[in-house]
Amino acid sequence: MDTQFRSTFPNDFKSSLVVFLVALPLCLGIAVASGAPPMSGLLAGIVGGIVVGGFSKSSVAVSGPAAGLTVIVLDSITSLGSFPLFLGALVVAGILQFIFGVAKAGVLGYYFPNAVIKGMLTAIGLILILKQIPHALGYDKDFLGDFAFQQADQHNTFSEIYYAFIYFSPGAIPIVFLALGLILFFEKPSIKKHRILGVVPGALWAVLSSIGLNAFYKKYKPEWVLDNEHLVTIPSFSSWQELPTLLTFPKFDLIFESSFWVIAFTLALIGSIETLLSIEAGDKMDPYKRTTPASKELIAQGIGNTVSGIIGGLPITAVIVRTSANIESGARSKWSTIFHGFLLLALVLSIPGILNQIPLSGLAAVLLVVGFKLAKPSLFVKEFQKGWNQFLPFLFTITAILLTDLLLGIGIGLVVGLFFVIKTNFHRAIQVTERKGNYLVKLQKDVSFLNKAPLMKELSQIPDGSKVVLNASMARFIDHDIEEVLNDFIASTADKDITLLIEGYTQHQKEKK
């Protein structure tokens, strides 16, 4: 273990720095959007890194507060009446999630179609790009981690971009271009392998340059200075004695109310679904193709949510933006996730003044690069080459997520994906071929009542005097309605002078009896 830790440490620590820079504004933004104290987002990020990272069996997944749960959290706090009462429901949700894992419910994650998973990843990449354009231009009316189409500032994704080009901040534009240039420079393979230049990730240089350039503005071009809403805003305290005041503890006064349990179960269920989707997507992106035990991940998430609820944090799930940033930055083991949690804990408590000088436009550059890596044009070409049955669910998932939100969009993608699965199986279940008046009626896989109408149509078109082979040897299940159609056809062959050879169907009926 020590040897493995030493061998992966350089990669894992560099990755943790990038994940920390991505996680910091997202934790704060999601907390604000959820109607919770800003510190609750940071606490959730810390617990997601250290606690969930410690118990998780995933080598690449990063956990923290999820943008997909903001509406649920906001409505739940309002419904229960206070944030401490919501934390009580979160503690119970964590226990329920733990039970889901023990009951092996994680197996449900293996039933998400690949086209939907890839559509989700691509959609998140496009959302990151579209959502960061206003921040890159210094228009910071909406919080940095908002993934929903309809935004908290009453705009939508596209109208926000429109207003950003009108009300942009001039100082933000040089900052984002400098940051992007540095990231792309340090992404070069020759630079990443350099024994000196490759030590610090490009994302950190980008953020440091944005702080430095904004400091330059203060001295030489004050009208371009970015301050207030254009900067990261971390809660600060004057002494360590104030630290306990930043924590909020749960209340269980409503534990016997049905509304309390509805919220707890909703948090556990939706959080589990988002986690399963994220670890499935993360495993597909993992260059080492490692597989995360899904049910054990639910156990880790359950422990994390229980701890987060106890100390005043937001709900935690595995989150794909931080996971993808972790993978793309070269993480080799789960220590990267754990390190990022400790970085959040240490740096937020020790240097909040420096962190509060980071312009959001500098962080936008980091997220723009992450988004592009998730939504490369080549991904669309690859999915298109797989055929319409794969490409359309992929495309519908992307469109639905872009125009609604993450969870609803995934739900729509799953429905479309399921439709194409049924459609494909529907057409493949029955095969009728003809050659010189000889017909082969072949039943394949499972044949259900959905295939009744096309089967009746195909059989009715077989002319009198034909030779027919009815082969059911490949069918594992034949619905009763299909049996009636076949039995009626068999009974009519004598009247139609049809020569019939039956293969497998008689044996199937004997086994059924």
Residue 188 forms part of a structural domain: yes
* Residues 323 and 421 both lie in one domain: no
**Alpha-carbon span 421 to 415, nearest angstrom:** 10
pLDDT, residue 51, reads 97
* Residues 242 and 369 both lie in one domain: yes
pTM: 0.83
pLDDT, residue 506, reads 66
Which residue, of 394, 426, 458, is where some domain finishes? 426
Residue 136 forms part of a structural domain: yes
Residue 431 forms part of a structural domain: no
* Residues 205 and 215 both lie in one domain: yes
Residues of the chain with pLDDT under 70: 1-2, 237-242, 422-428, 506-513
Domain that holds residue 99: 2-381
* Residues 76 and 212 both lie in one domain: yes
**Residues near 251 by Cβ (< 8 Å), separated by ≥ 6?**
82, 84, 85, 87, 88
* Residues 65 and 147 both lie in one domain: yes
Residue 403 forms part of a structural domain: yes
Residue 307 forms part of a structural domain: yes
pLDDT, residue 238, reads 64
Biggest CA pair distance of the chain = 100
**Alpha-carbon span 70 to 76, nearest angstrom:** 10
Which residue, of 426, 449, 480, is where some domain finishes? 426
- The alpha carbon torsion through 149, 124, 142, 312 (nearest 10 deg) reads 110
* Residues 363 and 252 both lie in one domain: yes
Residue 479 forms part of a structural domain: yes
* Residues 80 and 111 both lie in one domain: yes
What is the tally of structural domains in the chain?
3
pLDDT, residue 426, reads 60
Contact between residue 113 and residue 67 where contact means Cβ atoms under 8 Å apart: no
**Residues near 56 by Cβ (< 8 Å), separated by ≥ 6?**
63, 292, 296, 297, 300, 334, 337
* Residues 212 and 338 both lie in one domain: yes
Residue-averaged pLDDT of the chain? 89
* Residues 386 and 366 both lie in one domain: no
Residue 318 forms part of a structural domain: yes
pLDDT, residue 97, reads 97
At 146 the three-state DSSP class reads: coil
Amino acid at 144: L
* Residues 402 and 491 both lie in one domain: no
Contact between residue 131 and residue 157 where contact means Cβ atoms under 8 Å apart: yes
* Residues 198 and 222 both lie in one domain: yes
Torsion 29-31-37-41 (CA) sign: negative
**Residues near 217 by Cβ (< 8 Å), separated by ≥ 6?**
171, 224, 225, 226
Tracing tokens 């899904």 back to the chain, one arrives at 294
**Alpha-carbon span 126 to 319, nearest angstrom:** 16
- With b for 16 or more beta-carbon neighbours within 10 A and e for fewer, the 133-160 pattern comes to bbbbbbbbbbbbbbbbbebbeebebeeb
Q: Dihedrals φ, ψ of 279, to 5°?
A: -70, -35
Apex 464 CA angle, 450 and 436, nearest 5: 90
pLDDT, residue 351, reads 85
In this structure, the chain runs to a length of 513
* Residues 46 and 173 both lie in one domain: yes
Which residue, of 381, 413, 446, is where some domain finishes? 381
**Alpha-carbon span 473 to 454, nearest angstrom:** 20
At 58 the three-state DSSP class reads: coil
